[in-house]
Structures are given as structure tokens and as C-alpha cells.
């Protein structure tokens, strides 16, 4: 495997990625499969999400469930099961009201998220702490990591790629959510305020028909993606089943971060003295050379 060199500033020094081990100054040689030997708290060991992200995710999660239940029941109102769902919400009229209130909360959560991202990014830029590698912005490395990961699952690579805070799958999830939210909010607003939106769209009747089609189809696609892709990748895969608590605690397990976000773990070694001491002690126990 080719040698990769990466600078890690601060007390953790320079990390040289060579083959299956990573040398970190002040810690030692870290094997790529060390995640199999670390202690991990199911509730999380290392920081991953801020309290703002946890709140935003929770609001989005709850409103998404309510929107999916009420929206599908109203759209497919002729099917037998929709009557039971609408009864849970007090009938069709109440279901419509609940759907619109939930949509408003989801929009507020989206605005909250955008404001947090912008403010947080500006704050980091001002403090000269902004690092594109720790963001959801797609990079060429994501394509390289995806190819490497496919080779790993096909048995062509001995270890998974050394990925950053957000891996390629998570960036795809995020982009899908951005697009889906934009389509649903735009189409939903067109349907909810036809007179106002008629002053914006060049062909109001066409816009209404298109919005009705896009709102329903995008909702079904969003439900499919969240249930069969996002939830399965996050919570149901081996090693994560039956649940990851990071969406509530904001903290990721040490085992998970080292396996799938190895480069972010190196950042934590630089920023968290206690983690450096833990890894140094573990390497000594396992018989690896340390400083």
C-alpha cells in the first residue's frame, strides 16, 4: 500500500500513514484494526455532534414520522389502512391540520440548521479553525474512499479506507435530505398558498399540477430512502444493531470512529489529552511500540 503522509498540528505531532499502521508522535504506532480491541460505551465515547445538531435531528425525525403518516394517509385515502391512520389523528380534517403544523416545525428546524451551519462556519473562519475535511462538503477523496470501500467488501483490500468525520455515504444522505427538503417545501408551499404562489410561477395551473405530483412522489421517495437506506446503514448494520445513540447523546463510540472515521480519530487524539493517554496505554498493553 502506498505511503500517505498527513500533518497533525499540536501536541499530537505528525502522523505518518504507512501500510496498516499509523504512527502518531507522543502516542505510538496505531494498527488499522485497533478498533477491535478498544473499549466502547454504547452511549458514545467521543464528541461528534453539537447540541444544536442533536436538537435539529430530533425535531426533523419526529416531524418526518408525523408528516409521513398523515401525508400518505391523506394522499392514498381510498386504501383500507388509511382510515385507521386518520382515526389516530382524529379524522381527515385534523390530519390535514397536524400535517401542516408538522411541516411548519420541519421548516423551522431546517432554518435553524442553516443558521447554525452558517454561524458556526463563520465563527471557525474568524478563529482560523475552519477545516473543510470536517464538513459535509463533497471532495475527491470521497470518490476514492468509495472505490476503496467497494474493494474492501470484495476482499481486494485488507482494511477499510481512512475516512474523515463524514464518510461518503453520510454525505450522500445529507445531499439527499437537502434536495428532498427543498422539493417538499417548495411543492407544499405551492399547494398550501395557491394564490400567493400564482404570482410567482409563470403558469399557475401547471405549477399546481406539478407541485401535487412532486410533493407526493418525493415524499414516497424520501420515506423509502430514510427507512431502507439511512436507518439500515446507521442502525441495522452489523456492529451498530439495534441502535446508535449518537443522534441523542451527540457522542460516537470509539470503536465506530476508529473503524469508519479514522482521520477524525486522529483529530481527537490531537484535541483530547485523555484519549491520547488511553490509546498510549492500550498500545503498550497490546505490545505495540510507543514513545
Grid coordinates belonging to 160? 477499510
Task: With CA atoms as reference, report the closest residue to 26 among 279, 286, 285.
Answer: 279
- Neighbouring CB atoms inside 10 A of 262's CB total 21
Give the bridge partners for 15, in sequence order.
6, 24
Strand 14-18 to strand 21-24: parallel, antiparallel, or no bridges (unpaired)?
A: antiparallel
Could you give the domains of the chain?
35-271 (1.20.950.20)
Q: What is the pLDDT along the chain (291 residues), one digit of tens a residue?
A: 333 334 343 334 434 434 488 888 889 889 988 999 999 999 999 999 999 999 999 999 999 999 999 999 999 988 999 989 999 999 999 999 999 999 999 999 999 999 999 999 999 999 999 999 999 999 999 999 999 999 999 999 988 999 999 999 999 999 999 999 999 999 999 999 999 988 888 888 999 999 999 999 999 999 998 888 888 888 888 878 888 899 999 999 999 999 999 999 999 999 999 999 999 999 998 887 655
Whole-angstrom distance, CA of residue 24 vs CA of residue 8: 9
Classify residue 10 as left (phi > 0), alpha (psi -120 to 50) or beta: left
Phi, psi dihedrals of residue 182, rounded to the nearest 5°? -60, -45
Task: With CA atoms as reference, report the closest residue to 47 among 238, 230, 236, 274.
Answer: 274
pTM: 0.84
b/e burial code for range 25-36 (CB count within 10 A of at least 16 → b): ebbbbbbbebbe
- Per the CB < 8 A criterion, the answer to whether 16 and 25 are in contact is no
Question: In the 8-state DSSP scheme, what is residue 19?
Answer: T
Amino acid at each position: 500500500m502506498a505511503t500517505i503522509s498527513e500533518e497533525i498540528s499540536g501536541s499530537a505531532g505528525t502522523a505518518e500513514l504507512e501500510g496498516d499502521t499509523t504512527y502518531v508522535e507522543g502516542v505510538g504506532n496505531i494498527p488499522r484494526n485497533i478498533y477491535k480491541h478498544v473499549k466502547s460505551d454504547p452511549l458514545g465515547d467521543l464528541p461528534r455532534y453539537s447540541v444544536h445538531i442533536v436538537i435539529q435531528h430530533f425535531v426533523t425525525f419526529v416531524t418526518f414520522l408525523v408528516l409521513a403518516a398523515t401525508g400518505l394517509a391523506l394522499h392514498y385515502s381510498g386504501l383500507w389502512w388509511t382510515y385507521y391512520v386518520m382515526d389516530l389523528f382524529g379524522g381527515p380534517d385534523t390530519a390535514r391540520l397536524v400535517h401542516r403544523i408538522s411541516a411548519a416545525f420541519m421548516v423551522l428546524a431546517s432554518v435553524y440548521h442553516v443558521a447554525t451551519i452558517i454561524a458556526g462556519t463563520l465563527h471557525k473562519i474568524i478563529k482560523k479553525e475552519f477545516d473543510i475535511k470536517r464538513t459535509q462538503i463533497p471532495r475527491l477523496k470521497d470518490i476514492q474512499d468509495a472505490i476503496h470501500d467497494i474493494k474492501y467488501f470484495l476482499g481486494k483490500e485488507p482494511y477499510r479506507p481512512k475516512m474523515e468525520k463524514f464518510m461518503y455515504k453520510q454525505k450522500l444522505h445529507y445531499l439527499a435530505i437537502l434536495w428532498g427538503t427543498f422539493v417538499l417545501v417548495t411543492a407544499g408551499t405551492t399547494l398550501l398558498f395557491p394564490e400567493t404562489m400564482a404570482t410567482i410561477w409563470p403558469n399557475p395551473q401547471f405549477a399546481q399540477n406539478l407541485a401535487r405530483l412532486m410533493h407526493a412522489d418525493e415524499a414516497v421517495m424520501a420515506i423509502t430512502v430514510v427507512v431502507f437506506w439511512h436507518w439500515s446503514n446507521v442502525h441495522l448494520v452489523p456492529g451498530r444493531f439495534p441502535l446508535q445513540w449518537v443522534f441523542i447523546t451527540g457522542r460516537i463510540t470509539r470503536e465506530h470512529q476508529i473503524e469508519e472515521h479514522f482521520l477524525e480519530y486522529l483529530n481527537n487524539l490531537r484535541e483530547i489529552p485523555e484519549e491520547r493517554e488511553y490509546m498510549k496505554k492500550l498500545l503498550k498493553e497490546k505490545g505495540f511500540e510507543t514513545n
